[in-house]
Structure 1
Amino acid sequence: MAFGSSRASSSGGKHRGSSRLSRKTASVAGIAALAATGVAATLAAPAFAADNHSSTPPADSNMKAVVAPDLAGDLEAQADAQRNAADATALRVQAENEARTKAAEAKRMAEAKVKAEREAKERADREEERKRLNAFVTPIEGSYVSTQYGVGGSMWSSGSHTGIDFHAGVGTVVRAVGAGVIVEAGNGGAYGNNIVIKHNDGTYTQYAHLSRLSVSAGEQVTAGQQIGLSGDTGNVSGAHLHFEARTGPSYGSDINPLTYLRARGVNI
């Protein structure tokens, strides 16, 4: 029979290989299985490339989708780090500039303080020197006036006392009443051993009847400086200090010694 002959021929004939469509179907099934285990990402692409001759394997798209976000995150982190570093550098530079400014200001203030203190000291020294040069004291410390100015009598050639007498025994220290220069130091006739001083204000003072001279003409003296010792030389009736205030260096230019001293701050 034809049907039997045909089945026999079909069953007993040579086995034919799978068709191309069948092989492709099997490949797709295999890839699907591998994809479930995570291997498909690396194996599916070559299989499909061989069968379909595709220029862009599906696995490449998957990797790009994974890699691109990571790269963007790295770039953003790097940018943040650079911004943070720049901000830190700017803050450090600002702090250094502020520190230098503060240091310079502190130095300026310290120098100004030193200068002010130096100028204050110089002013104080000048004032002290001025006071020293213009200060006046009594010619004998702790003494008193025993004979007043202007008292009349035959003891004085002018008919009156041209100065004041301070009580003092022989050898009592006699002081310059103010700063000045010695214009006379030696024997003064009736005045005995005497000294005349020209003071800084242009006035003069005389110290008479001294037992000893401690200065010489031309010498500079200061207020309170010892210039000699009291005595009884010249025209006297006993030891004492004759003191005169004058407008000039010579006899006859006398003024009231008490008024003179008190006007210069001497309490007498």
Structure 2
Amino acid sequence: MAFTRATGKHRRPTRASYRSARIAGMASLATAGVVGSLASPALAASSSGRLQTPDAPGRAEMPLPETPVLGDYLSESLDEQAHSQEDAAVRAAAEAAAKAEAREQAERARERAAEKAREKSAEKASEEAAKRAREAREGERRPARGASEDRPAPGGYVSPVAGSYVSTAYGVSGGMWSSGTHTGIDFHAASGTSVRTVAAGEVVEAGWGGAYGNNVVIRHQDGTYTQYGHLSSVAVSSGQQVTAGQQIGLSGNTGNSGGPHLHFEARTSGEYGSDIDPVAYLRGHGVAL
């Protein structure tokens, strides 16, 4: 009957079985040596590595059993140590590379933050410079503070808001005015600022004035009229006599208004549409604007 074996790939002996086989071989060698020395002291090994018996020269020489070499075991252990050291070196290199990448990312993040801070600082400085320039331009339009703002001019007239300036000129075009143009001038004034009559006269209207909000209209001795609109409150009543510089109300944002200010008009009559340039009107009576 022919010799057969199981089909499939032969598996290499495991390291444990390989070591067990070598240890068993060493044990067998030791046992053979002890037994041979006790039973046949006359046995001797020839130079060829085979045992000979003196009483049976014609008999075949018996080969010595093979013994596993201890160097193989040591070599395998050294290989394992080398692989372990190599794996440790690879892991250490990977960790070092990861740390280096993290440091680079942190440095780039710091650089981006610093750049944003510089841009924000430059933007803030630009805004402050623009604000100072606007304030300088507004200061050029404002009259110098002094007694002329508080006391009537030689013609008996004063500015309706002390220390203020014209923020919207006369005759400016725009859809927010029913006539299509600005029929007066606007004085810069926060809500609650004192508003005064520019000259002596009689109050002909005091109260709600439609698009003008709370307003006061005064007829002066030369026959002209002045109007004060968008007031937050009125301090006079119709038919009352007032003097130049007398408070007639407080500025506000009532009626058709885009924000707190004083709307001031000058007219040649009490009719709407008889308006004249308020700046020229006041300057003609000695008021510096």
Q: What corresponds to 2:261 in structure 1?
A: 240
Corresponding residue to 2:233 among 206, 212, 215: 212
Alignment partner of 1:256 is 2:277: yes
CA positional deviation for 1:250: 2.8
CA contact (8 A) 1:134 1:179 kept: no
User: Which aligned runs of 4 or more in structure 1 are off by greater than 6 angstroms?
Assistant: none
Match of 2:190 in 1: 169
Shift of 1:249: 1.5
CA distance in 2, matches of 1:249, 1:133: 26
Contact 1:138 1:177 in 2 (8 A): yes
- Is residue 153–residue 287 contact of structure 2 (8 Å, CA) maintained in 1? no
Q: 2:223 aligns with which of 180, 202, 209?
A: 202
Corresponding letter in the other structure for 1:173: S
Give 1 or 2 for the bigger CA radius of gyration.
1
Query: What is the distance in 2 between the residues matched to 1:248 and 1:237?
Result: 27
Is 2:268–2:275's contact at 8 Å kept on the other side of the alignment? yes
Q: What amino acid sits opposite 2:174 in the alignment? A: G
The answer as to whether partners of 2:153 and 2:286 remain within 8 angstroms in 1 is no
2:247 to 203, 226, 229: 226
Q: Distance in 2 between matches of 1:250 and 1:193?
A: 18
Matched, 1:143 2:168: no
Superposed counterparts of 1:61-80, under 5 Å: none
Distance 1:234 1:143 in 2: 21
TM-score (norm 1): 0.50
Q: How does 1:1-268 map to 2 (within 5 A)?
A: 134-268=155-289
- Counterparts of 2:200 and 2:230, CA distance in 1: 21
Q: Percent identity?
A: 68
Once residues 183 and 257 of structure 1 are traced to their aligned partners in structure 2, the CA distance between those partners, rounded to angstroms, is: 19
> Conserved in 2, the CA contact under 8 Å of 1:171 and 1:229?
yes
The superposition leaves residues 132-174 of structure 1 with CA deviations (integer Å, 9 ceiling, x where unpaired) of: 9950000000000000000001010100000000001110000
Name the structure where helix makes up a greater proportion of residues.
1
**Could you tell which deviates more after superposition, 245-254 or 156-165?**
245-254
- Aligned counterparts of 1:228 and 1:204: Cα–Cα separation in 2: 17
Secondary structure, aligned partner of 1:228: strand
Give the aligned CA root-mean-square deviation in angstroms: 1.4
Query: Any unmatched runs of 5+ in structure 1?
Result: 1-130
TM-score by length of 2: 0.47
Aligned counterparts of 1:262 and 1:240: Cα–Cα separation in 2: 21
Is the contact made by 1:163 and 1:254 (CA closer than 8 Å) also made in structure 2?
yes
Q: Structure 2: which 5+ residue stretches go unaligned?
A: 1-151
Aligned partners of 2:153 and 2:285 also within 8 Å: no
Deviations 1:51-94 (A, max 9, x none): xxxxxxxxxxxxxxxxxxxxxxxxxxxxxxxxxxxxxxxxxxxx
Deviation at 1:251, TM superposition (A): 1.7
**1:226 and 1:183 mapped to 2: Cα distance?**
16
Equivalent position amino acid for 2:263 in 1: H
